[in-house]
Structure 1
Amino acid sequence: MAKQAYDEVLSKYGNRILSPNHAYSRFVTNVAKRLVSVSGLEGLNWEFHVIDSPERNAFVLPGGKVFVFTGILPIVANEDGMAAVLGHEISHQIARHSAEKLSFAKVLFAAQMALYLFGIDPSIFFNQVTLNFMMLKPFSRKCEKEADMMGLDLMAEACFDPKAAVQVWQRMEASGTGNNIPQFASTHPSHKNRIRYIEERKKGLGETSDRG
């Protein structure tokens, strides 16, 4: 499944993926290498690709295949900001969130089958509204928050400034990206909530650093 997804991305964006020697590719790769060196997954076959597209986004596929769109580069602004985005994506891989989401989907399917076997219509509990807004989307937001928190730890360990994560999401909010989607309908936390809990976590990292 991971290889199929990777091939589909390459097929879709192949002619817009920048060469490894491009300045943007080198910028992303240099930041990524510092984060990977403290990730505990240095032996994974990491690949970092930059896609020439205005989308303000980045994503990771299982197996350490990370894609960054050039549209997010003005939002990250510098190496610390790039580390906030890449730390988040690398943390998805560390936490194996793709496998976790697949397992969660299997549990939901098993629950539906169990209800069916007991003569209960699964749609009573597992209709589209309950599946999306009460189960799948909250679970996805949980994974996103976990990746944010782990990403801050990676940033700090790789000697990037965790404060940049807050600044990235402030710039993302100012750009208007995703502001028209209420959190309950989104797979990601709202920008305001992200800023709030990152600020809280950042304070903890600062206190730990001071004690050290």
Structure 2
Amino acid sequence: MQSHRFLRPLWSSITIRVSPPLAASASTPSLRFVPRLRPFSQTHHPRKDWPRPPRTTRNYNVDPRRRLSEAKPLITSHGLRRFVRSPSLHTVVVISVLGAVAFYFSNIQTVPVSGRRRFNCFSEESVEAASEAQVKRIIYDVERSGGRFLDDWDPRMAMVKRVMKRLIPVSGMEDANWEITVIDDPRTANAFVLPGGKVFVFSGLLPIARNEHGLATVLGHEIAHNLAGHVAERMSGQIGTNIMLYSLIFLTGGLAILGTQFIGGAVLDLLFSRPMGRMQESEADYIGLMMMAEACYNPHEALGFWQRMEKAQQGEPPEWMSTHPSNFNRIQKIGEWMPKALEKRQESDCQGTSAFADLFRQAMVRGVRIE
């Protein structure tokens, strides 16, 4: 009885199952022990031990300046030397320089009236597209400051339109979408013509112009900037200026970015941008004088206009600090060009032919100078 008590737990967990005979001749049943699973078994399933990140001691109260001082630098002198000595870098630099030189010389032009060689990589279409945003900006600034634009019935607006009606045919840009806007601002004596035929005149200029001949002097000058492609030239010049400026920043290791931008930008502007601006203004004076003469305006009125402008602009900066030639030098140059302008007016039939503008464009394409 004692042994039976010990065997009972073993046999209580075993079930005797009789399997069917495999063949007709098999008469002896086979026994198979199948363990019976007990509910709420204490068997433990294997756990998946996922990798855990290493424990680190984090002190969030550490001074940020201390953590910054202990941080490893992104650029080290050793890494910089390796980068500079890298053969792949030398190959990239050589290819880039050769490509830049080829691109530069393939976009060199000759300005016909002065023979000056210049770099220009922008087309007229791209310049006109860029000026559309500037037109919207000017209109927005005038409206925000409380200014207003003159209506078509205003005599001052009618005067500007009469002058433009005679200058547009001689400009060679009759197909442009011309829009004339006069801003009512008696304190500002200025006018400009943006690419695409967008004309802006401040009413303060009209008393200095006095008449249509004086106004034709200014508007002919501003139209000449577009005929000569000076806006595209300035946009192209910004490419070279930015390359030189960022090269200075790179050579200083980025340690003096603000100083390089300010001082380097001022030096480049003084050495390149301002002298280039004075050359462009002188070219526009000559082209505008020839166009106003071809439109049968009196070239002598140009001398009177710039003399009045010189009196109105007392205290102007020295010429070397300005993007414009001094009024004194301007008057001298116009006096030298006066015989040619009078000859141009005498040859004109006053019918608005664009003989000079067409000659200028043809000379620009051929890269030759005209007198």
Q: TM-score, normalised by structure 1?
A: 0.89
Mark the runs of 5 or more structure 2 residues left unpaired by the alignment: 1-129, 349-371
Corresponding residue of 2:29: none
Q: RMSD across aligned C-alpha pairs, in angstroms?
A: 2.4
Query: Aligned partners of 1:178 and 1:154: how far apart in 2?
Result: 29
Q: What residue is the counterpart of 2:15 in the other structure?
A: none
**12, 20, 27: which one pairs with 2:152?**
20
1:1-212 equivalence runs, <5 A: 1-14=130-143, 15-53=147-185, 54-112=187-245, 119=251, 127-175=264-312, 177=313, 179-206=315-342
Query: Contact (CA 8 Å) 1:87, 1:152: kept in 2 or not?
Result: yes
- 1:37, 1:209 → 2: CA distance? 15
Task: State the one-letter code of the partner of 2:197.
Answer: G
Displacement of 1:179 in angstroms is 3.4
> Secondary structure at the residue paired with 1:9?
helix
1:178, CA displacement in angstroms?
5.5
Contact preservation (8 Å) 2:171, 2:291:
yes
Which deviates further from its counterpart, 154-163 or 201-210? 201-210
Q: Which amino acid aligns with 1:79?
A: E
Structure 1 residues 209 and 76, CA gap change in structure 2 (3 angstroms): closer
Matched-pair contact (CA < 8 Å) for 2:295–2:345: no
The 2-side partners of 1:137 and 1:56 are apart by: 21
TM-score, normalised to structure 2, is: 0.52
Deviation at 1:109, TM superposition (A): 2.4
Q: Report the Cα distance in structure 2 between the residues aligned to 1:106 and 1:94, rounded to whole angstroms.
A: 22
In the alignment, the residues of structure 2 paired with residue 91 and residue 37 of structure 1 have an alpha-carbon distance, to the nearest angstrom, of: 13
Deviations 1:171-207 (A, max 9, x none): 01122x1533111111111110111111111133235
Give the conservation status (yes or no) of the 8 Å contact 2:296–2:345.
Answer: no
Compare the two structures and name the one with the higher helix fraction: 1
